[in-house]
Amino acid sequence: MGWEAVVAEEASSPHPSALAALLAVQGRVGYVPAEALVAIEAQLGVPKAELFGVLGFYSDLRTQPPGRHVLRVCLGDSCYARQSPKVLAAAQKALGCQSGQTDKRGAVTLGTVYCLGNCARSPSVELDGEVIGDVSPAKLTKVLGGLK
């Protein structure tokens, strides 16, 4: 639901882009459903293999619905220098899952990212698209505890 319009819009743009369509669809529904792939292939005229190739290249794209929240822990250099691996470890412990997975409750999908542009207030995480700076393992555990 909701993505048909964005595929149609991208198809009518002067330079239709499979990547843009995929990102737009994911922007609407949080992932790229199989039907959206069919629509992009048909409406943008992208060869099937290329579309799946694009899907397999960009690490933000996913074909399965994520949990109710998406958490990404920054492993960029500044955050690393400020002990972000410990933040990641805390997240893994709190959620009981590895990066790339969703916790058992289906509440949070955990991921990592290289830099959120918040390096002046590292370590950083991104929760549902909003950056949180100055995170510590304790602070993150608390934030995660409050998520439904």
Positions that interact with ligand FES (CB under 6 A): 74, 76-79, 115-119, 122, 124
User: Rounded to an integer, what distance in angstroms lies between the CA atom of residue 35 and that of residue 39?
Assistant: 6
To the nearest whole angstrom, how small is the minimum distance from the Cβ of residue 15 to another protein? 7
DSSP letter string, 61-120? --SS---SEEEEEE-SHHHHHTTHHHHHHHHHHHHTS-TT-B-TTS-EEEEEES--S-GG
Interacting partner of 83 out of another protein, ligand FES, none (Cβ under 5 to 8 A depending on kind): another protein
To the nearest whole angstrom, how small is the minimum distance from the Cβ of residue 91 to another protein? 17
Q: For residues 95 and 116, which CB has a smaller minimum distance to another protein in the complex?
A: 116
Residue, CB closest to ligand FES = 76
Residue 37: φ, ψ to 5°: -65, -40
Which DSSP symbol is given to 128? T
Choose the stretch contacting another protein; rule: CB under 8 A; options: 17-25, 90-98, 102-110, 136-144: 17-25
User: Rounded to an integer, what distance in angstroms lies between the CA atom of residue 48 and that of residue 86?
Assistant: 41
Choose the stretch contacting another protein; rule: CB under 8 A; options: 1-9, 89-97, 124-132, 136-144: 124-132
Interacting partner of 102 out of ligand FES, another protein, none (Cβ under 5 to 8 A depending on kind): none
Q: For residues 4 and 62, which CB has a smaller minimum distance to another protein in the complex?
A: 62
Q: Do 29 and 2 form a contact (C-beta atoms < 8 A)?
A: yes
Structure tokens at 10: 């991208």
Site for another protein in 43-82 (CB under 8 A): 44-50, 52-61, 74-82
